[in-house]
Amino acid sequence: MLLNNRYQVLKTLGSGGFGETFLAEDTQMPSHRCCVIKQLKPIQNNPQIYQLVQERFQREAAILEDLGGSSDQIPTLYAYFQLDSQFYLVQEWIEGDTLTSKLKEQGLFSEGAVRDILVNLLPVLEYVHSRQIVHRDIKPDNIILRHRDRKPVLIDFGAVRESMGTVLNSHGSPTSSIVIGTPGYMPSEQAAGRPVYSSDLYSLGVTAIYLLTGRQPQELETDPRTGEIIWHNHVMDVSPTLKSVIDQAIQYHPRDRFASAKEMLDALQGGVSPIPPTVPFLTQPPTSSPPPPTINLDTPPNHKSNSRNSILMASAIAGGFIGASVIIGLTLTKSSQPSLDKPLVTSQIPQTSKPQVAEENKASLSPSGSSINKIPQPQKESNPTTVPSSFYFLADSAYSNSQTAAKQVQALQTAGYPQAGMFWIPEYPNLSGQELFEVYVAKFSDRNSCINLLKTYGQDNSQAYCAFASQDANTSADRLYFKDISTPSTPSVATTTVKDYAWLSERLVTDSDLDAKDGFELDIMRNSIFARHGRRFDTPGLQKYFDSQPWYRPRYSPKEFPANLLSEIERQNVEYIAKYQDRYRRRHFKK
């Protein structure tokens, strides 16, 4: 079937009361790119209603175009058209897995994975709400984990479907005769046709519960007095912080939930927002059902133009815990990538969000936000409430004064690294005895994520390195320089040089990676996958080996190790290496 003399339908993705969804090929593009086509039809068929639906459809399509062009976590709207009294949206095809299919494939999500999804989606929701839009159908089926960067993408906004339900009421005024949402995932006020911004937070909270428990909302009990979902008894090893955040998000009454997505993100991150959002935050989000006032925001950065920034965000969100006495957290407009080997000076840096740090540690900005007038010197006594005990960071450079360091931070942010910042090295005595300001590209809670970005970033700055920072002066800094590792395309060099098998979490292993290695090294390769997730070992030789690795942080005994911590690639590699070892032993026995 060829739609609009252009789109070749490949298959039907789904169908329902509003129409059908197709996967199609754009025959008028050189790449014949794939796209998703949503066919929508009004529930009533008369000329007056059709004109109203047409007006609403065009308005909602324009909104979708704006949203998709402002965030890479919302599909781009390519086109829309009408054909045979039906309406069509042509949108970007997101290659990935819905959260529903991912859970069925790999089992329950870990707390870290759920946190990553929330931290990555809440800034997107904040931006959507700033445009006075409520998504209205957030659920596991409408969140896709994109294959290329594992970022969650929000699909299927409810406003266009609602426009298809336009009817005339008894007074002859247009209204919608349908409620958009999914039973179990939408709160009571939305079911009554009065959604507010916190309705989306409720749906996101219920989605998180599904990922942690594997149970649909209808399968969970509710408190007969309050109507709240009872779910704690279905999970293990979930921190009080995450439980508390989810509990507040799913409160029965909107006034008891978070006032905004930003507030929920702050609570999830302990009151500090270390990861600049992909789009601007609302400073004073509306909390009630009346239409919110118009809020003027700076144009959000276009994140579709810089693939390196996408990689950075995916890596940093995977585990970023920022805490330092000086934090630069500005969301910036993007420019082309300059050379980063030396300090750069930029200007016209718009301030789109307020850094969530102590007042005395904020950088003073001019009213226009175009330059830094003053950066306070850090206090020599670290504040345990704002400085984490340890983290990994990708180092860019170090400077003797904060002003020069701040200029480099701005240059990095403008170049497409919004997580860039700086801290005072004496805060972490295991790094250096010098009183320098360390400029970093991003911070991470695990070594592997830092190394992943180092492989790309080091091509611009060959002096870059990943380091483990700790407030414990006796802890090894565990530095790894770009020159010590290979590019992602040749991980075997890295394993030969530093015996870093982190790449086993990134790509599938082959025989060429295993040939010429003895049995013990094969054991090390296979078990390094478990070790990086904190497993202990019964074999003394293995345990002794991993105890000597600075990145090793044992947490689980062999019997208590949660299998669902392993990714699909890691599980396949474990099985492949084990089978290879069997073949190796058989060959060795024959000899």
Per-residue 3-state assignment (H helix, E strand, C coil) for 405-448: HHHHHHHHHHCCCCCCEEEEHHHCCCCCCCCCEEEEEEEECCHH
Residues 140 and 260 in one domain: yes
| Residue of 190, 187, 355 whose CA lies nearest to 178 | 190
Where a domain ends, among 92, 116, 138? 92
Where a domain ends, among 246, 269, 292? 269
Residues 263 and 118 in one domain: yes
Query: pLDDT truncated to tens, each residue of the chain (591 aa)?
Result: 899 999 999 999 887 766 789 999 999 998 899 999 988 877 677 777 777 777 778 877 888 888 888 889 999 999 989 888 888 989 999 999 999 999 999 999 999 999 999 999 999 999 999 988 889 899 999 999 999 888 999 998 877 666 676 665 666 666 655 677 888 999 999 888 888 999 999 999 999 999 999 999 999 999 888 888 999 999 988 999 999 999 999 999 999 999 999 999 999 987 433 333 333 333 333 333 333 322 222 333 343 334 434 433 434 444 443 333 333 333 333 333 333 333 332 322 233 333 332 333 333 222 223 222 233 333 433 333 356 788 889 999 888 877 788 888 888 887 778 788 888 888 888 887 677 888 999 888 878 888 888 888 888 788 888 988 888 877 777 788 887 775 444 333 333 334 678 889 888 988 888 887 877 788 899 999 999 888 988 887 788 888 888 778 888 888 888 888 888 889 999 999 988 877 765 554 444
- Whether residue 354 lies inside any domain: the answer is no
Rounded CA-CA distance 185/444 in Å is: 32
Residues 125 and 215 in one domain: yes
Residues 84 and 119 in one domain: no
H/E stretch holding 222 reads strand 221-222
Residues 125 and 220 in one domain: yes
Residues 85 and 106 in one domain: no
Residues 510 and 435 in one domain: no
Residues in contact with 571: Cβ distance below 8 Å, sequence separation at least 6, in sequence order? none
Rounded CA-CA distance 180/248 in Å is: 23
Beta bridge partners of 23: 11, 36
- Whether residue 366 lies inside any domain: the answer is no
Binding-site positions: 38
Residues 86 and 100 in one domain: no
Residues 228 and 250 in one domain: yes
User: What CATH number is associated with residue 546?
Assistant: 1.20.58.1690
3-state secondary structure 126-175: HHHHHCCCCCCCCCHHHEEEECCCCCEEECCCHHHHHHHCEEECCCCCEE
- Whether residue 338 lies inside any domain: the answer is no
Residues 157 and 200 in one domain: yes
Binding-site positions for ATP: 38
User: What CATH number is associated with residue 260?
Assistant: 1.10.510.10
Rounded CA-CA distance 93/78 in Å is: 10
Where a domain ends, among 418, 453, 485? 485
Domain count, the chain: 4
Q: Catalytic residue positions? A: 137
Q: Which domain holds residue 450?
A: 390-485
Residues in contact with 78: Cβ distance below 8 Å, sequence separation at least 6, in sequence order? 26, 35, 90, 91, 92
What is the Cα Rg of the chain in Å?
26
- Whether residue 285 lies inside any domain: the answer is no
